Amino acid sequence: MKNYFITTPLYYVNAKPHIGHAYTNVLCDTFARYLRLRNGKEHVFFLTGTDEHGTKIQKAATAQNKTPRVYVDETVELFKYLWTPQLLDITFDRFIRTTDEDHKRIVQKILRDLEAKGDIYKESYKGWYSVQDESFYTETQLREGLPEEIQNTLQEIEEENYFFRMSKYQDKLIQYIEAHPDWIQPEMRRNEVLGFLKNQTLEDLCITRPRKRLEWGIDYPGSVDHVVYVWFDALINYISAIGYGEDDAKFKKWWPGAVHVLGKDILRQHAVFWPIMLMAIGVEMPEKILAHGWWRMGGAKMSKSLGNVVDPLDMITKYGADAFRFFLLREATMGADGSFSEELLRDRYGSDLANGLGNLWHRFASMLEKYYGGHVPDKEPDWNTPVLAASLKLEKSVSELMDAYNPKDALIQIFDVITLANQFVEERKPWTLAKDPAQADKLADTMVVLAESLARAGFLLLPFLTNIAPQILSRLHISPSFASASLTKRLVLSGNKIERGEPLFPRLEDETPQA
């Protein structure tokens, strides 16, 4: 069985988590949960964590009159809290911090190996440095134009640093990307990276900062005067977390099956810096790089300066974690920017969750209670009923879409069947059938068809709706493991007593219930 290693980028802890962090982690968690259901949890490793070094961290700590260590320890807890089962329910296998001792050891080992190979050299450098993204920029880049937030933080600096011979591997990386057309997705991001690589000569990467300017970082081995550049340090987490250089069996189990999921704003670091670093140390490429878009509000990218940043905790408090997860996955196309507004979230909640899935469950359970005392009728469903036939085909189509890392269309297909099931109720009119003893068989068939359709929807929604989907299965007396092995068979057994329970998605306070 193939092993999968799903990764988020490491989140920079100079501020509390926002919707972009939530989206990336929900994407990765959904992929990991799906793969665990399909392949078994022993074949999936899901990594997330925090990037805790660098100038911005040092400045943020100083502004709060704290040491960097105290500051990062406090801020990391804000991220961990958002990922808890009570909130976004992110099921990571490891939460790595760049302040972890094993990570620091492995970063220093890689630096020593690269130095021994001749791929690192020391040189005096004069150039433009941005505190905003802790990077150097060339005169050419200045002439071509930089974003205003970077332009405003530039300062000319001359200092002695260590450099990584990135330019040495430029042609090799171009060849690799061209030979593996699906390696970077979506295609527009692949083309963006290739265009960048083909239209200029890569400069070698400055991988240290002088300690006199930055104290908070991993010590550069062999130099008391330098710390490691934050990006070089952070990218190595993808292999330090799985034992590179220290636990060969663990490393070989999970690498190179890595799927890196990240925002398009850090694509260059992941699709240029990181692959070249791996080439230099003789490690295979990760399996895939998936770059998603930004979340925009009113057409503008969210930013603290514009005051349009969405706090995930606020949305979870108002609408519940499942509704927020659903919105993020359903609203954004992988690779493209997503548009956020609370009105859109409320619309999705109402149309798909409350009036779609929630209404279907309520109708089914209420009618079962009214006509059968809550017990599932002793009747084999008509498997050719259109809604049930569509339900039976769902597993294959949803699996194909999830294998292609397309959760949006997977959700659309599942909810199309939920819509069919609600239409089936309207067409069958069980409230009319119940009045005619001659229609008893058709009424029983209606109930078992709905039960089987809900069971399959509940199982397929397990990676997406991590609170509600298990509730549906539990109310139907189905264990996820049984459903996983039996989606082509009957899942809801005759005679089972089904409890209606509380509404799956309560109507929002200012909504008027439909008659």
The pLDDT of residue 127 is above 70 = yes
Angle value at C-alpha 445, between 441 and 450, nearest 5 degrees = 155
Closest by CA position to 63, among listed 14, 13, 134: 14
Q: For residue 298, name the pLDDT band (cuts at 50, 70, 90).
A: confident
Query: What's the CA dihedral at 221, 227, 229, 230 to 10 degrees?
Result: 110
Q: Which pLDDT value is given to residue 131?
A: 67
Task: Confirm if 269 and 289 have CB atoms less than 8 A apart.
Answer: no
Structural domains present in the chain? 341-485 (1.10.730.10)
The strand pair at 288-292 and 258-263 is best described as parallel
The pLDDT of residue 423 is above 80 = yes
How many Å apart are CA 292 and CA 263, to the nearest integer?
A: 5
The pLDDT of residue 76 is above 60 = yes
Task: Please provide the size of the chain in residues.
Answer: 515
The pLDDT of residue 60 is above 60 = yes
Q: Which pLDDT value is given to residue 483?
A: 57
User: What are the two backbone dihedrals, phi and then psi, of residue 356, each rounded to the nearest 5 degrees?
Assistant: -95, -85
Instruction: Render pLDDT for 266-283 as a digit per residue (tens, 0 to 9).
Output: 999 999 999 999 999 999
Closest by CA position to 381, among listed 284, 305, 492, 279: 492
Separation in Å, CA 454 to CA 5, 376, 431:
31, 13, 19
Q: Which pLDDT value is given to residue 306?
A: 67
| Single-letter amino acid code for the residue at 428 | R
Q: Which pLDDT value is given to residue 25?
A: 99
The pLDDT of residue 466 is above 90 = yes
Q: Which pLDDT value is given to residue 465?
A: 98
Written as six digits, the tokens of 197 are 């690589």
The pLDDT of residue 128 is above 90 = no
The mean pLDDT value for 481-509 works out to 84
The strand pair at 226-228 and 208-210 is best described as antiparallel
Task: Confirm if 398 and 415 have CB atoms less than 8 A apart.
Answer: no
What region, left, alpha or beta, does residue 243 occupy, with left being phi > 0 and alpha being psi -120 to 50 degrees?
A: left
The pLDDT of residue 508 is above 90 = no
Burial of 255 (0-12, 13-18, 19+ CB in 10 A): buried
Q: For residue 514, name the pLDDT band (cuts at 50, 70, 90).
A: very low
Query: What's the CA dihedral at 241, 244, 247, 251 to 10 degrees?
Result: 80
Written as six digits, the tokens of 91 are 């099921």
3-state secondary structure of 95: strand
User: What are the two backbone dihedrals, phi and then psi, of residue 120, each rounded to the nearest 5 degrees?
Assistant: -130, 135
| HEC secondary structure over 337-401 | CEECCHHHHHHHHHHHHHHHHHHHHHHHHHHHHHHHCCECCCCCCCCCCHHHHHHHHHHHHHHHH
Q: For residue 137, name the pLDDT band (cuts at 50, 70, 90).
A: confident
Q: For residue 513, name the pLDDT band (cuts at 50, 70, 90).
A: very low
Helix axes 19-39, 386-403, angle to 10 degrees: 110
The pLDDT of residue 507 is above 80 = yes
Q: Which pLDDT value is given to residue 147?
A: 78
The pLDDT of residue 238 is above 80 = yes
* Between residues 489 and 400, the one the model is more confident about: 400
Q: Which pLDDT value is given to residue 340?
A: 94
Instruction: Render pLDDT for 371-414 as a digit per residue (tens, 0 to 9).
Output: 999 999 999 999 999 999 999 999 999 999 999 999 999 999 99
3-state secondary structure of 6: strand
Tell me which of 4-8, 101-105, 336-340, 423-427 is least confident: 336-340
Q: Which pLDDT value is given to residue 509?
A: 75
Cβ contacts of 283 within 8 Å, gap of 6 or more = 239, 244, 255, 256
The mean pLDDT value for 470-487 works out to 82
The pLDDT of residue 511 is above 60 = no
Q: Which secondary-structure segment (H or E) carries 94?
A: strand 94-97
Written as six digits, the tokens of 141 are 């880049």
Q: For residue 490, name the pLDDT band (cuts at 50, 70, 90).
A: confident
Instruction: Render pLDDT for 141-173 as a digit per residue (tens, 0 to 9).
Output: 777 778 777 877 788 878 899 999 999 999 999
Q: Which pLDDT value is given to residue 133?
A: 67
Q: Please state, rounded to an integer, the average pLDDT across all residues of the chain.
A: 93
| Single-letter amino acid code for the residue at 214 | L
Q: Which pLDDT value is given to residue 515?
A: 29
